Chains A and B, each alone.
Chain A
């Protein structure tokens, strides 16, 4: 099985407005896949359909060979939403522990995974603080740690590094690359920051619910004879 995620003939509309045009998308296993596009282009809708949180109007989504929605699949997908979905009245550790329990991790696994996830996002020293007192960046990091908690095969991260300082951003990217190289995880990420897009193995550019270009960052630049992905983006978007 080479493909981690296969979407075929996917379409979605909300209240008469087409958010996702009929499209096909295949994401390989063991890579970092970037979904790039301006806000409102349908990135979030697309990844929510992978996570099984939105039902497409047409077409099918297959993840790890299983048709979405599938209960067993939820175990294998770590999802980080665009807005921080955290319990402000609980501490960081309590938030992590709560989600770990939902994945039926044993007590030993839970404490190991909490330590690991907190370490990666640099929250080890803040675990016992109430989330209500966290800064915006800390909340982002805790959300990422929750996505990692059950050691899933697939990570779906919706703009994971918004509001995170450059140094920590680098640490997080190093960890994502390590997860890809050493543990063969599949990572799907949405972003509109070009330096992050540059680090993805493969990219799909989205506009108004349609994929307007896809390929490796290098191939995209070559195709549009552009210096940077910014230029590619502006060239494609320039058609407006």
Chain B
């Protein structure tokens, strides 16, 4: 019978915590729906450009699963600009293939389809010289999405830890006590940003150095730029975490933000290909900080982008944190009018 008293109590408690209950039942649906759309999208068609070729080659390639275009001249720059997966150049019976390789799986698919297409055409397959715009022949999928993982972990831990810290300050009454002193609201927020920001900085440095030096994750671009990006990621996570903590009344409720705020962002970091997604789905991705962080990180670490190539992403991250910090400062008015 004691067991049943316990059961009754648990049911009573949970029934009163409407939010936990709603999350318990609805969050899986939200995430399932997102996954349904994301995994349901087919990868977009492979795009290749052929230069200097005779008509029969182009014709035979068209029979393969390709979007083929013949062009007078082409370049690596144009490949990047038009997001072309492969560029086949034929000269004196020799074939030269340049692969974009922004996603290794697509590069492999191009090679395979090309072989199949040529097999049906030529009696003997000419030798193909392969070049890579990004990465190399041995690039693994992990190389392209590990940069995003680095940012993800920075975001995840800073979000939770800073959020819970401010929550504790609210529930223990120390925040109110703080506001009974002449401290200014912006000073509290700035203190949090600098205090937790410095830990986030150390965490970022450890994660990045470990990923690059121990796990040997490719780093083509500047390590400094990687650090700057992740510091901005930490800043966004910190300001969002402290902001959302005001909508939580316990650590338990803070943890509930994981399926609502963190998990959906993962879907848009590029771990799953973005270009095949429906327009509306891509638009959702664009309101998520991690989308920009991943774009920048992948650019710097894998594609060797410089500041000039990723500065838009960085500005968006700065804008996110500026907005969250401002709302934070305003929301403290709840406790003290000054």
CB-CB under 8 A from B56, the residues of chain A are: none
- Is A85 within 8 A of B174, CB to CB? yes
Task: Give the shortest distance, in Å, between B281 (CB) and chain A (any CB).
Answer: 40
CB-CB under 8 A from A72, the residues of chain B are: 182
A108 to B319, CA, bound (A): 42
- Is A69 within 8 A of B337, CB to CB? yes
A51 within 8 A of B: yes
Interface SS of B by simple majority: loop
Most buried by A among B176, B181, B183, B338: B181
Give the contacts of A47-92 with B (CB-CB under 8 A): 51-53, 55, 69-72, 74-75, 77, 79, 81, 83-87
B5 within 8 A of A: no
A238 to B338, CA, bound (A): 41
B215 within 8 A of A: no
A69-B337, A69-B338, A71-B338 given; A53·B180 CB < 8 A: yes
Selected contact of A102 from candidates B176, B178, B338, CB within 8 Å? B178
A173 within 8 A of B: no
Selected contact of B180 from candidates A55, A70, A79, A84, CB within 8 Å? A79
A103 within 8 A of B: yes
- Is A53 within 8 A of B179, CB to CB? yes
CB-CB under 8 A from B176, the residues of chain A are: 53, 81, 85
**Chain B residue at smallest Cβ distance from A74:** B182
A85 to B168, CA, bound (A): 11
Q: Mark B29-58, 1 if CB is under 8 A from A, else 0.
A: 000000000000000000000000000000
A134 within 8 A of B: no
B172 within 8 A of A: yes
CB-CB under 8 A from A116, the residues of chain B are: none
B141 within 8 A of A: no
A6 to B177, CA, bound (A): 23
CB-CB under 8 A from B174, the residues of chain A are: 85-87
B335 within 8 A of A: yes
- Is B338 within 8 A of A81, CB to CB? no
CB-CB under 8 A from B195, the residues of chain A are: none
A130 within 8 A of B: no
A52-B337, A69-B336 given; A74·B172 CB < 8 A: no
- Is B172 within 8 A of A52, CB to CB? no
Give the contacts of B309-338 with A (CB-CB under 8 A): 335-338
Selected contact of B336 from candidates A52, A77, A85, A86, CB within 8 Å? A52
CB-CB under 8 A from B28, the residues of chain A are: none
A75 to B174, CA, bound (A): 17
A153 to B180, CA, bound (A): 14
A81 to B173, CA, bound (A): 8
Interface contacts beyond A53-B176, A69-B338: sample of 5 additional A-B pairs, CB < 8 Å, sorted by A: A69-B336, A79-B180, A81-B180, A85-B172, A146-B177
